[in-house]
Structure 1
Amino acid sequence: MFREMRRKKQLLSEEKSLEVLKRNTSGVLSVLGDEGFPYGVPINYVYNDGKIYFHSAKMGHKVDSIKNYDKVSFTVIDQDKIVPERYTSYFRSVIAFGKARIIEDSKEMEHILKVLAKKYCKEQGDKGIQEEINSGINHVTVIEFDIIHLTGKEAIEIVNGLD
């Protein structure tokens, strides 16, 4: 169903690809948008229990697109070091393909919002996080991205230890 990577020497292991997802904070979610045009939107996310989660406004292009077509992709750039003297960049990135669903259960939403908040705002403490969730939960959508296929790639120079 998914294409094999052409440059197999540059393929990251699943373990390293997951490490990239775990350590980063932003990526680009791509959906099938209006009139069949691709729509890529930068988002903050959290990788938790084998899935990617993010929150959104209740309405908008992203949410409408997911409701209409649940197949999506998500890209994270872990490294992009431009090396002008070599006319290249030393990069590392991951792309996930999967299905997105809007979480409807309020307890599940609250749990994921806590996971997101602890990644980005843990210094606010449990009480502050809970107060924010309580005040905003009716105004957000929480989306689960179920990963079907994950692939990572890095520059051959990194593979060969030349970075």
Structure 2
Amino acid sequence: MLGELNENQIEDLLKQQATGRLGCHAHGITYVVPINYVYRDGCIYGHSAIGKKIQMLRNNPEVCFQVDIIESLVKWQSVIAWGTYQEITNRKELQKAMHEIISHIMPLMSDTEGHPSHGITESESDVGGSVDLILYKIPLNKKTGRFEHP
């Protein structure tokens, strides 16, 4: 059975997951990349070092975001959302966002995996210090969701 997720189901899926795919488009190139994120108050919060993704987002801040849970080919849920990329520059907001990202992602790692090497600082107080990290938010302005189950 195919169907549409309701607003509460969409919100729940966005809150539950920690990895989604961010789609951006600039200069005739479309780029889709997985990101770790936390969802709060209608916004996706993420982090990145300077690179292709950030350069493209600065050129065209309109984005698409996708997240899913796939249990099998006939049992899945998926959300697609659209919004606008905004870099966070306020120090207090930076620290809060970093703390929330760390709190959301770190419990999903096993003790044997160690510390992620892709830009998460050991402490949210490192933001703007020893790590050159960009934190951003994407206020979502449209969300749709679908599911399939037997």
TM-score exceeds 0.5: yes
Aligned structure 1 segments of 4 or more residues deviating by more than 6 angstroms: none
Partners of 2:70 and 2:89 in 1: how far apart?
35
CA contact (8 A) 2:121 2:127 kept: no
Structure 1 residues 36 and 130: CA distance shift in structure 2, 3 A: closer
Partners of 2:14 and 2:23 in 1: how far apart?
16
Q: 1:144 aligns with which of 137, 145, 148?
A: 137
Q: What is the Cα deviation at residue 116 of structure 1?
A: 0.8
Listed as ranges, the matches of 1:6-45 within 5 Å are: 10-33=3-26, 35-45=27-37
Partners of 2:29 and 2:94 in 1: how far apart?
29
Question: In the alignment, is residue 63 of structure 1 matched against residue 54 of structure 2?
Answer: yes
> Which runs of 5 or more structure 1 residues have no equivalent in the other structure?
1-8, 83-88, 124-128
TM-score (norm 1): 0.76
Q: How many residues align?
A: 136
CA contact (8 A) 1:114 1:130 kept: no
Letter in 2 for 1:75: Q
Partners of 1:62 and 1:92 in 2: how far apart?
26
Q: What is the Cα deviation at residue 80 of structure 1?
A: 4.3
Q: Secondary structure at the match of 1:67?
A: helix
Partners of 1:111 and 1:54 in 2: how far apart?
12
TM-score (norm 2): 0.82
Q: Secondary structure at the match of 2:128?
A: helix
Q: 1:106 aligns with which of 91, 95, 99?
A: 91
Partners of 1:37 and 1:74 in 2: how far apart?
16
Structure 1 residues 11 and 132: CA distance shift in structure 2, 3 A: same
Q: What is the Cα deviation at residue 78 of structure 1?
A: 1.4
CA contact (8 A) 2:98 2:124 kept: yes
Give per-residue Cα distances to partners, 1:109-148, cap 9 Å, x unaligned.
111001111112369xxxxx99622334341101101100
Letter in 1 for 2:56: S
Q: 2:44 aligns with which of 52, 56, 61?
A: 52
Q: Secondary structure at the match of 2:97?
A: helix
Q: 1:132 aligns with which of 116, 123, 126?
A: 123
Q: What is the Cα deviation at residue 64 of structure 1?
A: 0.8
Larger Rg, first or second structure (1 or 2):
1
> Which runs of 5 or more structure 2 residues have no equivalent in the other structure?
109-119
CA contact (8 A) 1:92 1:152 kept: yes
Give per-residue Cα distances to partners, 1:19-43, cap 9 Å, x unaligned.
101111101000014x311100001
Q: CA RMSD in A?
A: 2.1
Identity %: 29
Greater RCO (CA < 8 Å, at least 6 residues apart): 2
Question: In the alignment, is residue 119 of structure 1 matched against residue 111 of structure 2?
Answer: no
